[in-house]
Each structure stands twice: as C-alpha cells, then as structure tokens.
Chains A and B, each alone.
Chain A
Amino acid sequence: MQARTLPEVMARHAAQPAEDKALHCWDGSRRSYFPVSYGDLSKRAFAFGAELLESPGDIAGRVVMIACHTPYATLVAFYGAISVGAIPMIFPMPLSLGSHEALTERIKHWGFAFEQPALLVLEAGLTEKFHDEIPPQITVLRISDNPAGEWQTLDASANQHSPAPEDVAFFQTTSSSTGDHKAVAISHQNIIANVVGIRHAQHMDDNERMATWLPLFHDMGLVGTVLFSFGNNYPLLIMTPTQFVKRPSIWLKGMSDYRCTIATAPNFGFDYCSRLVSDKDAAEMDLSGVKHLFIGAEPIRVSTINSFCNKFAVCGITPQTIRPAYGLAESTIITTMTDPDKVSQFVCLDADSIGINEPVKILDSMTFDDSKMVDYDASKMIAVCTAGRAIEDMLVEIVDEEGNAIREQGVAGEIAITGTSVALGYVSGSAELIDRFPQGRLRTGDMGAFIDDELYILERIKNLVIRHGENFLVSALEEQLADLLDVSHEHVAVFESNIHDPSSDIIVLVERHAPIDDAAVNNLLVEMPKEAFPINKILLSRSREIPRTTSGKKRHFYCRKMYQHNEIKFQQEIEVSPQRIMQAMNAVRTDA
C-alpha cells in the first residue's frame, strides 16, 4: 500500500536493513561520497525530533527554521521536525543570499511571524558572530554537519506523531529577494501525489538512481529530487550547489560511476556543464544509463539543449534523454512533463504574436534531434520547448485576464492549475496560518498556450526575475529603488530584457520628472541590497511610460516587449557595471 504521509515513509525506511538504499553525500575534502542508508537517516531524524520535543513550548504546528550548509544536516533536521509534527522551513544560506545579514533578516522575520516564536536549527560551522545576531527569544538547536560522525538514533517518532494526509508537512519559500517573505504550505498529500505522479508519468520502476546538486531551499531540489528519491526509495547522490559550481564534472562523473538514471537541473546547470566540463572528462564518462534529464525551473533554451546533447553524445546522452517539464512551488513542484517515449518538440514563434487571448503564430516546429535546426532572428522569433502534459490528478487550463478558460489550441493566456499537487495556499501571519487558494485553483502568473495538446510556456506575467534557477520577486526591490530615487514605487518597473535568455540584461524603468543625478545613482548603487540580482541598466522617462492594466497594475511583460522593440521613450540611460559600483563605493569612503 502506498504511504500517505512522510512519517509513514520514514517508518518504512527505518524498518529496512541498515545496508539498504542510501543518500550518498559528497565530501569535497575526501573527493568521495559518504553513504547513509535511508533507514539510518530516518532513525537519526527521529532522534533529532526527540531533541525538538525538549524545547520549551508546544512542538505541534511549530515552525522550525533550518539554516545549514550541508544537505545531510538539513535533511536530518527537516525529517526530524516532520516526525514530531513541527513544520520545517529551509532557508538559503549566505552564499546564496549574498550576505549573513540577509539570512539574519529572514530569521528575524519568520522567527516572529507566528503565534509561537519559531525554533532555529543551525549547523556547526556558522560563526559565533552570527549567533550573537539571533534574537534571544528564538531557541537555537545545533546539529552536526558530519554524516560520518556519532549520531543518536531512535526507531520511531518520539511522540508517535501520525498526521492526516491533508495536514501541513512543510513551508516552502518561493522567492529569494530581500524584504520579500513569501512561502507556500505543502501538505503530505501534495508531496505523495507529486512524487507518485512524476513516477507514473515517466514510467519509472524500482531501480532508478538519482544525482543532484540543487539547493534544498528550492522546490526542485527538495521535492523534485530529495523527497522524490526518499519517497520512491531511490539512491541519491547529493552535493551542494557551491560544490557543483566549482566542479560541475563531479555531478556527471557521479552519475557515470553510480549508473544513475535520473537527474534534474535548471537550464543554467546544463549550460554550465556544456561550457566547463572538458571534452576529455566527457569522453571518460558513461552516461548511457541515464534515462531522464529533467530540465525546468527557468526558461529552457533550445540552444542549451542542443549544446548539451552535442557535447555529451560521446558518453551516451541522446536528445530523448532531455525531458523538459513545468512546475512551481505552488504545485509542490511538477505540473506538466514531457512524454518519455519520444523526443521532445519545440516551436519557433513570431515574438510579436504573443499576447493574452491572441493566437500565437508558429513559424516552424522541430524536435531536438532534428537536423534542420534553423538560424533565427532572436529579436523577432523565440524558440519554445514543449512542457508536455499534466501529470495525473492535475488539470491545466489557459485563461484570459478575467479567469475565463480559453479552449482554442494555439491561443495564449495565463496558465491556471488545479489538482492534488496544488499547495494548500500561501503562508500568512494570520491566526488561520494559511491563505488558501480560492477553490484550490492557482493562477500561476505564467503565460502559455496549448499546441497539439501540449503546454508551451511563452511569457511571464508575474513580476518575477529568474537567475540561476532562483526566483526573485521584484516588488520589494522596486519599493527600495523608489525610495532611493525619491519617487513612488508605482513609477518603477524592474524587468528582464528577455526571459528566454537567462543572462539577458535586467532593466529598471523609472518615471521621474527630474533627471537622475550622479548623487542619486551613487546612493542607489551603494544602498542596493547586497542579495539583489545585478541591475544592468536604468532608463529614466519623464512621461508615464510603464504599461498598466485598467486597474493600474504594472504590466512587466509589456515593458519587456516595448524594450525589445525600442519603443520605450526615455530621456536618460545609465549603464551599471561593477566598476561603476566600485566608483560609488569609493566616493562614499572618501566622503567619510
């Protein structure tokens, strides 16, 4: 019988022989993986749950913030919290956030967002200075970062916690920008439905093996690889994003050595491997056992897939291995997946034809192994991969701005989803804890269209920038920039110049009557939050230039369209470079 909750999955693992399937943690100093069976991991988590029970106050429904560098410590804390009915929430670490201050700020926000102060789990290795910045009302628990060390174990949950499937399992943060604190509540039922749905959609069996470097604060890393492997009892090789960025070949070599069959990464991960893994290393690997390389979390570039397939054909990668998918934290992780039995298709579209309730103009279509790959004018055309079809128990619709379903194939609109993988709702500070999605239907803020019954992601309506697979909601940044430039936040729009190019420029369009002088720009550059993504260009317009809806909301994707067509009327253009930032910093020092 299928387990219905994570504690049930943990109990099953704990009952298995010690040498059973395992989490293999990359040890950079020893250049090898250290295995810990899922049974041992579960027993250590049960013991950590017992430690949580010793904390002052009730543990049931209490939020446990997890701030650990190593995946192993993160997961012991995560499963430990779940085992006693607490609600874990994994935070990005300073290397991702850009500073210790950003982590402290996050801890202070979420630590006091609920009726009871949240608990905080910190890993050995964080500085004492950091400890001093934690408010004394927050109870801190320490956890070892060494999977090979001595660990307490328990055979079962310390308080016999047995949640209902619809109960909250964990909170997933959904964006990484400073000042923006958004999270979704994921239930046990959501996790199980998604984990089972992916397996069925891809016709997987009991013998799969995975490898990952994805961050565990991200839904693709936590649900898409770790909970997916744990729930299906698949061995998992795991390394940190930092270890991957430093040496991407380790990820692929691990897949080769351990005969892995599944891996998942955003576009930039595949692009990064194509650029940085040497031909010699590629030739020494055997990736012929890999059946599914899932790609998602950020716009997928056809050129990335082509480069990756060409580079790693020598070790057995074929175009059919690449499996584009679409998902978001609000749908636990996966919403749609491509068919594992055929090579995925992509279409070349007239970029000007993309608009809500408008038919998209298809100029060409082909598959990844199609030799007729054409050169196209990126300013006028976009190449978009299929994201496939909804996994079981999920319904995907295209809707217009009023939320009415658009039934016609090839007509663009907002993507709306319903089904058992749709999260319970957004986490709120209210007594109800969760703002539930109306009728369980989520309007995603992404624009798409069905072509031959498969979903294609075309644009982004929501105010979001994606870099290196991480989401940054720009609303908080717009408010900060507005303060610095002395205008209302209604007069600032931050947008990517091309969502289909993950390295495209990030533009700030400012409506401000007076010119921006050097002092204002310097203030902006110096005071910009360190964890914000880099801005490349500031455009100043003296007229009302930001396109808006009839109710006055900014339409960022139209900003992008206008920018691409040189239609933004601006009076001043300021390029922002690292040198420019340094000049501003030095000016401040000199003044001081």
Chain B
Amino acid sequence: MSDQNNIEQRLSALIAEKTKLNATDIHPALNLEDSGLDSFARIELILVIEEEFGFELSDAESANVATIADLITLIKEKTATS
C-alpha cells in the first residue's frame, strides 16, 4: 500500500468517526466546510489528526486546510520533516 493510500485511509477513518458520515461520502475533494463540522469540531478533528500522525499544526496551517486533499498534502509534508 502506498503512503498516499495509507494516509488517506487513516484520515478517512478519523473523519468518518468525527463527522458520523459514511466512508463513501469522504473523498479528497470533500471540503471540510461542507462536512457538517462547525469550527469547534474542526479543531477537535485537527487534534485527532495530530495525535494519530504525531506532529502539531499551527493555527495558520490548520486554517489553510480546505479539503481532504489539502490535509493529505500537509500530513505528508509534516511527517517527512518530523
């Protein structure tokens, strides 16, 4: 399994858990603003991601994430440098 797929699967599981959405509704183009999460829940999601992948995102990095694809890119960057 590629890193990309691995990250995507782990991320999808976290998002499904947080949003209670079906896994089939979660895809790279999904905008987090459309996922039913309010701003508070989005921060909680970021925390879960930080704990899952072992790094901390700054407020600016967190704010710049719009889609699942953005998150995957950011996770790859952070895991490569941490």
Contacts and interface: CB of A to CB of B under 8 A. Distances in A.
Interface of A: 28-29, 69-70, 93-100, 123, 125-127, 145, 240, 242-243, 245-247, 468, 530-531, 533-534, 577-579, 581-582, 585-586
A145 B66 CA distance: 22
A117 B47 CA distance: 38
13 contacts: A93-B63, A125-B58, A125-B64, A127-B64, A145-B60, A240-B59, A242-B43, A243-B59, A246-B47, A247-B47, A530-B33, A534-B38, A585-B34
B36 A245 contact: no
Contacts of B38: 98, 533-534
Contacts of A468: 40
B50 interface: yes
B46 interface: yes
Nearest to B82: A29
A95 B64 CA distance: 9
Nearest to B24: A586
Contacts of B21: 578-579, 582
A98 B43 contact: no
A579 B33 contact: no
Contacts of A581: 34, 36
* Interface SS of chain A: loop
A98 B33 contact: yes
Interface of B: 19-21, 25, 33-40, 42-44, 46-47, 50, 56, 58-64, 66
Contacts of A533: 38
Contacts of A531: 39
A579 B58 contact: no
A69 B19 CA distance: 26
B71 to A, nearest CB: 14
Given A28-B56, A99-B33, A145-B60, A246 B25 contact: no
Given A246-B47, A578-B35, A95 B25 contact: no
Query: Lowest 9 CB-CB distances: which A-B pairs, in order?
Result: A578-B36, A125-B60, A69-B59, A246-B47, A94-B63, A245-B43, A530-B33, A581-B36, A95-B63
Contact of B59 (A93, A98, A99, A579): A93
Contacts of B64: 125-127
A69 B58 contact: yes
B62 A242 contact: yes
B36 A95 contact: no
Contacts of B56: 28-29
Contact of B63 (A69, A243, A245): A69
Given A247-B47, A578-B21, A582-B21, A242 B36 contact: no
A202 to B, nearest CB: 30
B21 to A, nearest CB: 6
Nearest to A129: B64
A586 B46 contact: no
B60 A246 contact: no
A126 B37 contact: no
A245 B47 contact: yes
A531 B37 CA distance: 11
Given A98-B33, A586-B25, A578 B59 contact: no
A111 B24 CA distance: 42
Given A240-B59, A582-B35, 4 more contacts: A69-B60, A95-B63, A97-B39, A98-B38
A361 B39 CA distance: 39
Contacts of A534: 38
A243 B62 CA distance: 11
A118 to B, nearest CB: 22
B46 A246 contact: yes
Contact of B36 (A94, A98, A126, A579): A579
Nearest to A578: B36
Nearest to B37: A578
Contact of A28 (B25, B36, B42, B58): B58
A248 to B, nearest CB: 11
Nearest to A240: B59
B66 to A, nearest CB: 8
Contacts of B37: 578
Contacts of A94: 63
A73 B38 CA distance: 26
B79 to A, nearest CB: 15
A468 B60 CA distance: 21
A246 B33 contact: no
A95 B42 contact: yes
B36 A582 contact: yes
Nearest to A588: B34
B47 A98 contact: no
A245 to B, nearest CB: 5
Nearest to A534: B38
Contacts of A579: 20-21, 36
Contacts of A96: 39
A272 to B, nearest CB: 10
Contact of A246 (B19, B36, B43, B61): B43
B80 to A, nearest CB: 16
A325 B38 CA distance: 28
Given A97-B39, A98-B39, A530-B33, A578 B63 contact: no
A159 B68 CA distance: 49
A283 to B, nearest CB: 22
B2 to A, nearest CB: 27
Contacts of A29: 56, 58
A245 B60 contact: no
